[in-house]
Amino acid sequence: KNFKNITKGSKGKYVRELQDFLLVRGYHNYISIADGIFGSKTAAAVKSYQNGYELKIDGVFGNSTRGYVCRDILQDNDPAIFN
């Protein structure tokens, strides 16, 4: 299934969940709170995450990046996210 990309300028629940995920994974040097606003700091955190998995580094939370995030969540037995 194709989901809408989450990009710079996006706001809301899914951005907050993405930010929570990034904070739990230690991206504190990029973002300090999950405020639900996808700004330049969240984009930098996403780029760093993408770089760690050798994904296209564009700062966009699209299908490829979402797939890796979901895999990480399942491997860690985290609660469901991005439903």
Specify the higher pLDDT residue, 57 or 83.
Answer: 57
pLDDT of residue 78: 56
pTM of the model: 0.88
Residues 12-37 pLDDT 10s:
999 999 999 999 999 999 999 999 99
Through-space distance between the first and last CA atoms of the chain, rounded to whole angstroms? 12
Residues 34-52 pLDDT 10s:
999 999 999 999 999 999 9
Among 4-8, 53-57, 79-83, the minimum mean pLDDT is found in 79-83
In sequence order, what are the beta bridge partners of 69?
A: none
